[in-house]
Structure 1
Amino acid sequence: MIQTLKDQLKRPMRDIRISVTDQCNFRCAYCMPAELFGPDFPFLQEKELLSFEEIVRITKILATFGVEKVRLTGGEPLLRKDLPILVEQLNAIEGIKDVALTTNGVHLPKQARALAEAGLKRVNISLDTLDEELFKKINGRGVGVKPILKGIQAAIDAGLEVKINMVVKKGLNDQHIVPMTKYFKELGVQLRFIEFMDVGTSNGWKFDYVVTKKEIFDILSQHFELEPVKPTYFGEVAKRYRHKGTDAQIGFITSVSEAFCSSCTRARLSADGKFYNCLFATEGSSLKDVIREGASDEYLTYMIKRIWEKRADRYSEERTEESAKQRKKIEMSYIGG
C-alpha cells in the first residue's frame, strides 16, 4: 500500500508540517506583531483544534504517500497540552522515521527530556540575535535571550539535535550575523539563516528588507572559511556549509533569492485541520470537517491525493513586491513555519 501510493505521485510528498496550536507566548515582529495579535485576538478554541487522534489518523494516511518526516509547529507548539503523548503516537506510525519540533525554546527546560523520551529527534529553535534589548523588541513580550539559551542547553542535554533559525531583516539584526555565527560555531550547533519572507500579510514585508544568501555569505566569508556540504536528500531546503576543519555547519533558507518551489516535497496541516500545499497559500482544504462528518480513510486518501496532484504553487519563483502586497496569504502563526 505504502509503496503503491508513493509511486503514483507525480511529485514526492516527503514531510508534513503540522501546526498543533495557533497561540504563542511571543508577539514576534516577523509573524505575530503585537499591534494585530493583542490580548483580545480570537485564537482558536480547543474544540476547533485537531485532536491528537485526528492528527495521528491523518499522519497514518500521509505515511502511505511516502511521508517520513513530521515537524510539529505553531504558533508555539509547546503550549499544546500533553505534547509528548502526540510525539509518541506519531513515532509509532509505520513509515514515520523522524519527528521534530519548531519552537521559541522558552518551555524546553521543562519539556525537553519528556519529548526526547517520547521519541522526538530534533528541535529548531528561533533566535534572531544575542543582543538582549533587540531580542526583547523582536519578540514583543520583553523576553530576554537567557531563557532561550537555557532552552537550547536543555535540548542538548536531553540528547536532541538542535538547529537555530535566525530570520535576517535588513536594518534590524543584519549586524548580528557574525556574532551569532561565532557563538553557535563554538557551541557546535547549526545556525540557519532565513531570508525575511512575506509569510502572511501582517509583517510589513518589502524586498528592501531582505538580506539574501549571497549577501550573508559574503559577510561570513570575511570572517570564516566555509565549504559546501552536499544535500542528503531530494528536496532538502537548507543550503548547508561547513566551517572548514570542523563539523560545525551553517545553513541558508533562500525562498526569496533562490526559490525551491520545483523541488518542494512538503505539505502543511493547520491547527484547525486544513491541508495546504504551500507556505504562501491563500486557502486550504479542510480535512477536519470531512473527518467529523464521518469520512472513511479511503475518502481521505482520495481527497489528499487529488489536492496534492493539482499542486501548481510557484509563488516564491513568481513573487514581485506588488504581488506580495496584493495576495492575501495565510499567517505564519496559523500554518506554521
Structure 2
Amino acid sequence: MQLTDNFGRSIDYIRISVTDRCNLRCVYCMPDTMKSGCYQDGKINTDSILTYEEIVRFVDVAATLGIKKIRLTGGEPLVRNSIDELVKGIKEIPGIEELSLTTNGQRLAGMTSALAQSGLDRVNISLDSLRADRYAEITKGGDFDKVMAGIRAAEAAELLPVKLNMVPMVGINDDEIEAFVRFGIQTGCQIRFIELMPTVVNEHLFNKGFIGTDEIKRRIEREFHITPLKLRKHGPARYFSVTDHAEHTNGIIGIISAVTCRFCSQCNRLRLTADGRLRPCLYSNIEVSLFDALRHNASKEELQGLILQAVDLKPERHHITDGTETDTPTASGAPFIMSGVGG
C-alpha cells in the first residue's frame, strides 16, 4: 500500500520521539529551566508517555499503510533505558526497511554494539562545534570527547553513513563551516548543515544569528568545489559532492534549508511525539492524538483511521517565514519547543 496525502506526496517516513528529556541544553533548542513532562522525580512517567510496546504496535500498524522508514529521536533518545529493545521490536516489523536514530552522542559510545545488534541501520549525531570549549558553551556542558568517541564507535559498529548535524549561527560557530567540510572529508562522515529554525526559545538568537543556505554555500565554495548530488528521492537535505582543491579528496555534505527554501513539496513524513500526538507537519498546530487509542488497545482499524486522519490533515506547506504558526504550533497552544515534538 502507498500512503499519499492530498497534495500527491507519498508518505513513507515517521520520526518518533521516545522522550522529551535531554541531557544537554543547546542554546537554540531547550531553555535552561525546561522540565520534561515525561518524567517525575527522575523516573519515567508512564501515565503520559508511550511505552515501547505501544510504539511498536503503532509502527506495526503504520507499516500496513506503507510506512517504510523510522527515525528515533527525542529529546535525547539514549537517555531512555533499554532503547535497544525498542530498536529490535521495530526492526522485526515486516515492511520497515530503514531504522535510524538521532542523538547528541553523549551516551553513544557505550551503546553502539547493542544498537547495531538489535538492527539499527545508522545514526545522525548533533555536533555544532569542533572546539571542545565552544561545544561545551553551545550545549551548556556537553562533553566533546564523548561525542568523538561516539562517532568512532558508530563507525566501528558500521552504523553507516554517520551523519553529523551542524547548525551554523552567526557569531557563535559560523567560522567553522569550512572546518566541518574538511572534517567530513577526512573522516568519511556526511556533514549536514541545518538552517537555524525559529522557536519561542531562540527568538533573539534567530534574529541575530540566522545564516541562510546561500551564505553557507558561499563560505564552502571559497575552499572547495561542490557538485549537486542526488542521493534520495525525498527528504529535506540537498546533497553535494565536495572536493578539496588542495588535497584532491572528496566528501559529501547536505544542506537543509528549512527557512529560506521550503522543501515542503517533497515532505514524506509524519512525527509522533513521546506523549502520543501524531503531527503531520513540524511547524503546524495540527495534531491527532493516538495516546488513548494505544493505551486502551484500540483495534488495528481504529489506529489506521487515526493515521489516515493525520495524513489527510497534512498542510501543503509550513508558514515559518509568514509568522503565522510559530507562536503556538501545538494543538494545546503550548509554546513550541523543538525537543517536545521530536525536532
> Which deviates more from structure 2 when the two are superposed, residues 239-248 or residues 301-310?
239-248
Q: What residue in structure 1 maps to residue 269 of structure 2?
A: 266
Q: What residue in structure 2 maps to residue 124 of structure 1?
A: 124
Shift of 1:108: 1.1
User: How big is each residue's C-alpha offset from its partner over 1:95-148, in whole Å with a ceiling of 9 and x where there is no partner?
Assistant: 1001000000111111001101111111000000112221111111x2232111
Q: What residue in structure 2 maps to residue 212 of structure 1?
A: 212
When the two chains are superposed, the root-mean-square deviation of aligned CA atoms in Å is 2.0
| Greater fraction helix | 1
Q: What residue in structure 2 maps to residue 62 of structure 1?
A: 62
What is the number of residues matched between the two proteins?
A: 327
Q: Within 5 A, what are the aligned runs for 1:106-121?
A: 106-121=106-121
Q: What residue in structure 1 maps to residue 146 of structure 2?
A: 147
Q: In structure 1, how many angstroms separate the alpha carbons of the residues matched to 2:278 and 2:208?
A: 32
Q: What residue in structure 1 maps to residue 322 of structure 2?
A: 320
CA 8–77 in structure 1, closer or farther in 2 if over 3 Å, else same? closer
Taking structure 2 as the reference length, the TM-score comes to 0.89
Shift of 1:43: 4.2
Helix, strand or coil for the counterpart of 1:226? strand
> Which deviates more from structure 2 when the two are superposed, residues 279-288 or residues 169-178?
279-288
Helix, strand or coil for the counterpart of 2:3? helix
Taking structure 1 as the reference length, the TM-score comes to 0.91
Q: What residue in structure 1 maps to residue 258 of structure 2?
A: 255
Q: What residue in structure 1 maps to residue 241 of structure 2?
A: 242
Q: What residue in structure 1 maps to residue 14 of structure 2?
A: 16
Q: What residue in structure 2 maps to residue 287 of structure 1?
A: 290
Asked whether the equivalents of residues 279 and 287 of structure 2 are also in contact (C-alpha less than 8 Å), the reply is yes
Please list every run of 5 or more consecutive structure 2 residues that lacks an aligned counterpart in the other structure: none
Code of the aligned partner of 1:332: M
Shift of 1:157: 0.8
User: How big is each residue's C-alpha offset from its partner over 1:144-202, in whole Å with a ceiling of 9 and x where there is no partner?
Assistant: 3211111111111111111000011122111111112212210111000000001x421
> Which deviates more from structure 2 when the two are superposed, residues 17-26 or residues 288-297?
288-297
Q: In structure 1, how many angstroms separate the alpha carbons of the residues matched to 2:240 and 2:13?
A: 23
Please list every run of 5 or more consecutive structure 1 residues that lacks an aligned counterpart in the other structure: none
Q: What residue in structure 1 maps to residue 74 of structure 2?
A: 74
Q: What residue in structure 1 maps to residue 30 of structure 2?
A: 32
User: How big is each residue's C-alpha offset from its partner over 1:224-256, in whole Å with a ceiling of 9 and x where there is no partner?
Assistant: 1111101422x2211001123655201001010
Matched, 1:183 2:183: yes
Shift of 1:52: 1.1
Q: What residue in structure 2 maps to residue 330 of structure 1?
A: 336
Asked whether the equivalents of residues 275 and 285 of structure 1 are also in contact (C-alpha less than 8 Å), the reply is yes
Asked whether the equivalents of residues 5 and 311 of structure 2 are also in contact (C-alpha less than 8 Å), the reply is no
Code of the aligned partner of 2:214: K
Helix, strand or coil for the counterpart of 2:163? strand
User: How big is each residue's C-alpha offset from its partner over 1:236-284, in whole Å with a ceiling of 9 and x where there is no partner?
Assistant: 2110011236552010010101111122111000011110011113252
